[in-house]
Structure 1
Amino acid sequence: MSQADSFIDEVTEEVRRDKLFANFRKYGWIAAIAVVLIVGGAAYYEYSRAQQEAQAQAFGDAILSALEQNDTDQRVAALEAITAENAGGRAVLGLTEAAELAQIGDTDAAVAILEGIAADQELPVVYRSLAKFRSLALQSGTLSAEERRAGYEDLAGAGSPIRLLAMEQIAMTYVEEGQEAEALARLEEMQEEAGLTPDLLRRISQLIVVLGGTPGGASAAQDG
């Protein structure tokens, strides 16, 4: 390489370096802000997560503290004093309060809370389903077997988180009406369902035997 070429390369490199520094001086603040935002965003995320975890822990501790009160009236009062920060928290709090109200015989108040949870479209379906299921159970003395069965049918649809429990209750409403053959058919149908827990399978088998059927086999009951 000639001295002239070497000199030209050195000059070109200096020009590039000067342009780089000039551009950095001109636009470097953008990169600096980007770095600050990235670091600040990560810090805010960690802070927010810590805050959420602290709130969730405080909320759980408040519920546990309320449930440690000596009698049901005190527990209900303590639960009513708790404030939930989000929809899920409200659902958990409501389900817990409804259970305590049912314990002291205030069924109407418990059902009102449960129906409110069941109708809240902001909540995940599992909360709404549990609330509806419990509400139907509490109304066994005021709703007919047919009315409750209609509610359980809604909860027994495909994809329902409590499908099997609802199917069990549908069979029980038929037993309540004296339609034992239909109840037996529903219970035998349940045996083919996936996801049966050992406890639920045991209950179904016992009911089938009581109704004159054979667990895992065809019904031995006769109509009429």
Structure 2
Amino acid sequence: MTDIFHEVQDDLRRERMKALWDRFGWLIVSVAVLIVLGVGGWRGYEYYQGQQAQAAGDRYQAASRLAAEGKTDEARAAFASLAADGPKGYQALGRLREADVATSKDPAGALKIYESVANDGGIDSLLRDAARVRGAYIAVDHAAAADVRRLVEPLAVDASPWRHTARELIGLAAYKANDAAEARRQFEAIVADAEAPAGARQRADLMLAVLPPAPPAPAAK
């Protein structure tokens, strides 16, 4: 009797499963296919991304070799190409390196590239800050003091790890523009900063030594 009861239960279970399959089988198959396609698509995308990154790395190395060999024009063109159509991370690096190799022949063009990187909100802030500093080094010799200030003044704040370099660049630009008071203010800020690197402090001391003395404070009435 027990065996018959189990057989009836099995038959009922099979009937219910068949009914469910007849009703929802297409949905189960569709979901399974979508899962397989999704996993396969993601794996394919990962492979594609890896291939793209490897190709971009090869292009970057090739452009770097051109720069090391002194082939400035070819290197600049190669970095510009990578900046135009490479993966996102390599685009920013390509722009920075393009500006690097352009500096000797086309400082104005290099400065323009550095400024574009510095003002690009889609780029990592560390790269943007590096572009500000590199651009300011060029601007000290090839642009106005206001251009230097515009680039690095956001970094010349107490919380910035770039503050010593930024203040030094603003001070140098002011010195070249015969603004002794501003130059002295920047170099004194470096000397007064206990965290200033020894080299920056020494250069600031030298600049303060060649600057005209600060005017005496007005006498109290």
TM-score scaled by length of structure 1: 0.71
Partner of 2:154, secondary structure, is helix
1:203 aligns with 2:204: no
Q: CA RMSD in A?
A: 3.3
Q: What corresponds to 2:219 in structure 1?
A: none
Tell whether the 8 Å contact from 1:133 to 1:166 is kept in structure 2 after alignment.
no
Shift of 1:210: 4.3
TM-score scaled by length of structure 2: 0.72
Q: Distance in 2 between matches of 1:18 and 1:87?
A: 57
Q: Using the TM superposition, name which of 57-66 and 182-191 deviates more.
A: 182-191
Tell whether the 8 Å contact from 2:136 to 2:169 is kept in structure 1 after alignment.
no
Partner of 2:103, secondary structure, is helix
1:186 aligns with 2:152: no
Structure 1 unaligned regions, length at least 5: 193-199, 213-221
Tell whether the 8 Å contact from 2:108 to 2:142 is kept in structure 1 after alignment.
no
* 1:1-224 matched pairs, under 5 angstroms: 11-69=8-66, 70=69, 71-82=71-82, 83-103=84-104, 105-145=105-145, 147-156=147-156, 163-174=160-171, 176=175, 177-179=179-181, 182-188=185-191, 190-192=193-195, 201-207=197-203, 210=206, 224=215
The 1:76/1:20 distance shift into structure 2, 3 A limit, reads same
Tell whether the 8 Å contact from 1:164 to 1:190 is kept in structure 2 after alignment.
no
Q: Distance in 2 between matches of 1:150 and 1:80?
A: 25
Q: Distance in 2 between matches of 1:113 and 1:172?
A: 19
Aligned residues: 202
Structure 2 unaligned regions, length at least 5: 216-221
Q: Distance in 2 between matches of 1:118 and 1:181?
A: 27
The 1:6/1:53 distance shift into structure 2, 3 A limit, reads closer
Identity of aligned pairs, percent? 22
Tell whether the 8 Å contact from 2:118 to 2:128 is kept in structure 1 after alignment.
yes
Shift of 1:27: 1.3
Q: Which residue type is aligned with residue 114 of structure 1?
A: Y
Q: Which residue type is aligned with residue 32 of structure 1?
A: V
The 1:131/1:205 distance shift into structure 2, 3 A limit, reads closer
Shift of 1:156: 4.1
Q: Using the TM superposition, name which of 129-138 and 142-151 deviates more.
A: 142-151
Q: Residue deviations 1:17-50, cap 9 Å, x none?
A: 3112320232123222222222322222222112
Q: Which residue type is aligned with residue 125 of structure 1?
A: S
The 1:114/1:35 distance shift into structure 2, 3 A limit, reads same
The 1:33/1:85 distance shift into structure 2, 3 A limit, reads farther
Q: Distance in 2 between matches of 1:156 and 1:13?
A: 80
